[in-house]
């Protein structure tokens, strides 16, 4: 297995940390003066250079070569279209199985770009553009980063089990992150589930958990987990073989 260059590791770690911090602002900033649209615009402006920077770093370090870049483009386009079949309706989400499988073969940098770019393209194709888009892109990118860091087992059953377990975890984390960023705007004020500026990390985490339960977010996330697992079980055997063959031909050892 090729040793991942330090620069690549650092760039991915910075991307992951920046993404998590943007979601966690309600727990870290003791103010109620945030504006949803301004926040989304700021995140989008920060995210675009971040994606470009990771592409350049991954390409310069050899983590993504010309062949992988071509595969990335094709998978982004395919995943953008596939997402239109679900786009989260009633918890049915069709976008994540391909992100997880692609990242599992080509590692975290590839997964971050695939996740964020495919969400952007699908939104432009009709899935919906709004203040939520940059956060969806970041959350999907984090799903790709995590999938790229999964252990590589040799047996097919172990690989499928690993991908499915991760898909369940990632589905709930994605849902929690997407709820967290807009929780202060949607939960209202002066209730047991409302965001309270300056209340402290523990108190707001408890309020957030109550909000997730009250709004049925966990049930929505369960639908995403089931859908993603089912699609992985159906598609992963063939896709893992095909993508691994393409990776080997391109001189990439995942």
Each residue's pLDDT tens digit, 197-241: 767 777 888 888 888 888 777 888 898 999 999 999 999 999 999
Q: Look-up: residue for tokens 């369940």?
A: 168
Domain spans, the chain: 6-249
Is residue 144 a contact partner of residue 115, using CB atoms and an 8 Å limit? yes
Task: Please state the pTM of the whole predicted model.
Answer: 0.84
For the stretch 94-144, pLDDT in tens is: 889 999 999 999 988 899 999 999 999 998 987 678 878 888 898 999 999
Q: Look-up: residue for tokens 């966690």?
A: 24
Question: What is the reported pLDDT for 1?
Answer: 44
Residue count (the chain): 254
Q: How confident is the model at residue 90 (pLDDT cuts 50, 70, 90)?
A: low
- Specify the 3-state DSSP secondary structure of 2: coil
Structure tokens at 49: 């250079």
Task: In whole angstroms, give the CA distance from residue 134 to residue 127.
Answer: 13
Query: What are the b/e assignments for 36-49, b being 16+ CB within 10 Å?
Result: eeebbeebbeebee
For the stretch 140-159, pLDDT in tens is: 999 999 999 999 888 999 99
State how far the alpha carbon of 164 is from the alpha carbons of 13, 71, 75, 80, 133, in Å. Answer: 24, 23, 20, 21, 26
Q: What percent of the chain has pLDDT over 70?
A: 83
Is residue 106 a contact partner of residue 118, using CB atoms and an 8 Å limit? no
Question: What is the reported pLDDT for 49?
Answer: 75
């Amino acid at each position: 297995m090729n040793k991942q260059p330090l620069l690549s590791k650092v760039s991915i770690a910075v991307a992951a940390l920046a993404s998590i911090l943007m979601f966690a602002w309600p727990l870290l900033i003791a103010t109620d003066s945030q504006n949803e649209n301004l926040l989304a615009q700021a995140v989008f402006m920060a995210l675009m250079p971040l994606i470009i920077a990771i592409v350049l770093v991954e390409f310069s370090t050899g983590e993504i070569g010309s062949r992988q870049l071509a595969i990335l483009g094709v998978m982004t386009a395919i995943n953008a279209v596939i997402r239109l079949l679900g786009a989260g309706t009633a918890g049915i989400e069709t976008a994540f199985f391909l992100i997880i499988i692609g990242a599992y073969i080509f590692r975290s940098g590839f997964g971050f770009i695939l996740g964020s770019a495919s969400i952007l393209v699908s939104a432009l194709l009709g899935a919906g553009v709004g203040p939520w888009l940059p956060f969806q892109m970041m959350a999907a990118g984090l799903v790709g980063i995590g999938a790229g860091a999964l252990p590589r087992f040799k047996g097919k059953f172990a690989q499928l089990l690993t991908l499915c377990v991760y898909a369940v975890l990632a589905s709930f984390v994605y849902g929690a992150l997407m709820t967290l960023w807009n929780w202060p705007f949607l939960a209202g004020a002066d209730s047991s589930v409302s965001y309270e500026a300056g209340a402290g990390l523990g108190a707001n985490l408890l309020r957030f958990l109550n909000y997730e339960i009250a709004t049925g977010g966990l049930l929505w996330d369960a639908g995403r987990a089931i859908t993603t697992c089912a699609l992985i079980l159906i598609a992963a055997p063939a896709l893992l073989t095909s993508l691994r063959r393409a990776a080997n031909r391109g001189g990439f050892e995942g």
